[in-house]
Structure 1
Amino acid sequence: MKTPLTVLVCALTLMACADHAARARLGIEDSTLLRSGMGASQDEAAGAVNPQWINAYAPVANSGAALASLQARLDRLPAEQNGYFRAKAQCWVDAAKDARQAGDHWGFVEEAIGQAAVIATGLESGVSPSAANPALRTVSVVRPDLWKIVNTIKSDPAITSCREAQLPLACAEVQLMQAGHDAWLRSFAHAEKRLSDVQDNLRKSAESALQCKPAAAAPQLTTPQAVTLRADSLFRFDGGNDAAMLPAGRRALDAVARRLTTVTALREIRITGYTDRLGENAHNQGLSLQRAQTVARYLRARGVTSPIAVRGLASANPVAECRQSRRDELVQCLAPNRRVEIELVAAS
């Protein structure tokens, strides 16, 4: 007959195996999430509260009152703002309410309130909020494959004009973040339970995007009203001048130039360069502007005569959200953000 201690050891061994299996299914890369008790990390890297976190979330002294106030602010927003950001703010409020009702005192309630408040403030002031999901202290990355699907849907041009696709996408992102909080708490079973709703919302978003009809182009235009070119195809990595342009980039711009020279009634061409979020902001700002200017000169040299306006927005308006810990994987994931957008403005 096994002694009680032996039975306990066996039970703990089986539990550890189950935890490892759940962790593997969630795709968690942070090994500290399976450590507890003696030897477990308690430092800032493991999620310990730091002064910055306290300064950011200390104002949320009464989460119940804060949630009620946020809900009232969202309810007052005009109907035309009932899109992606309004839905995302509401989903953050709902996530905060859910965690608060469950008695979660680890900081996720405050962080969810903070995310909703930032979006609500942007909508109220007329400033477009960021679509990125920032790293939160109480959230770990789960299911990187689902985050790739999020980024794929998010980068589809149809999403920008398809409200039916935006709403489930916004909530899928928040739900995936909340599953990451469950994992941060080492509650892997709860994290897995949320994934069915995440997958359902992603499916709804993708199907709605396919069903949405693209906006009709102005009859004068014989080419798309916007063209997005990946910077990694146009230039060598971290390059933006003529010397850094790749053969594939020249071919792509040659094709764009041929189409633009046939377009009539074109008032202006707006060229915007973007970088990813890695590196110094000043460097990224200069690089993004340089890429836009290089593309403009190239089109001019190939017969494009319409007025051209250029600008560089560095890492603003990201289309891909990445949380990988390995730099090579992060650089690859951020590739869609390194881009040059060419917008065609028809004459009125």
Structure 2
Amino acid sequence: MIPIQNDTESHWSMELTQAIRSPSELLTLLQLAPHQLPESNNAEEAFKMLVPRPFVARMEQGNPNDPLLRQVLADNIEMTPVSGYSKDPLDEGNHTPRKAIVHKYKHRVLVITTGTCAVNCRYCFRRHFPYSNNQLAQREWDHVIEYLEQHPEVNEVILSGGDPLMLKDSQLSKHVARLNALPQLKRLRIHSRLPVVIPSRVNHELLAWMASSPLDIVLVLHSNHGNEINQEIAAKVSQLKQVGVTVLNQGVLLKGVNDSVKAQVDLSERLFAAGILPYYMFTFDPIEGGAHFDISVTEAQKLMGQVAEILPGYLMPRLAKEIPGQPAKTVLAPSLSDH
């Protein structure tokens, strides 16, 4: 087990400051030699490593193909241009009517709360997003509230990023209090990977402001592999559910990480055992630098068809693709084999 570098139970922000930022340090912790992994200097310079120690602790030592390691370790293949892969694969730039607001779907508005994350995933579809132009200062939340008041058809706000749970609870509680006061809103959705990579992020302060909100709160976690889910996460999910939070998971199909029947079945089983309902499994968004993670839609449908033969329907995440310009996500039917 790779220890957290303090003697007592740490605050999540302390665990974040102790995150691994050096590939050489990560390889040493995992007992791997540099020759066991691809060259990565250029890719690492373009998109820096950041991976918390609680997440590293779930990686298998001595395994260069560990599915969690593959998600965070740079590879110079990222620097090779590939036709059809862009810096804005979901065309979010054309759906940003105001700073930090993405309004692609009529009844839902997404707010980019911060550009920072607790972990830098190599496949991230927003790895090139212009966060520096979309950071919300405290006073700029006035513009978010004003926009929502001007669009009474919006009944759900999605906090995204980056990772919205990177904000302090004192900040989040103030922002959410203002959203609570809007009579049109029914739900608050939060997309976060933080409770997966640093479970201690689910603390008393977070639970308190969630419990006090009159909105239905939906926390959509992001986990791609069953090895990411452990008992500590299950305990935190139990606390969230006790204060009325609905906890879902969405993942991304990634070559070499979870593109097998076993990996998909195991992920859904472990999620459900931890109190998390599988929600979406997305096909890869064609982000520049991530082509080596991609599998075709046909392959994805065939894979999920095989998974559907094993899992009950309530454990099957919806296979989906986000297509720019469409009024909703495109749900893809699994390809079932003939027997």
Fold shared per TM-score above 0.5: no
Q: TM-score, normalised by structure 1?
A: 0.24
Higher fraction of helix: 1
Q: TM-score, normalised by structure 2?
A: 0.24
Higher fraction of strand: 2
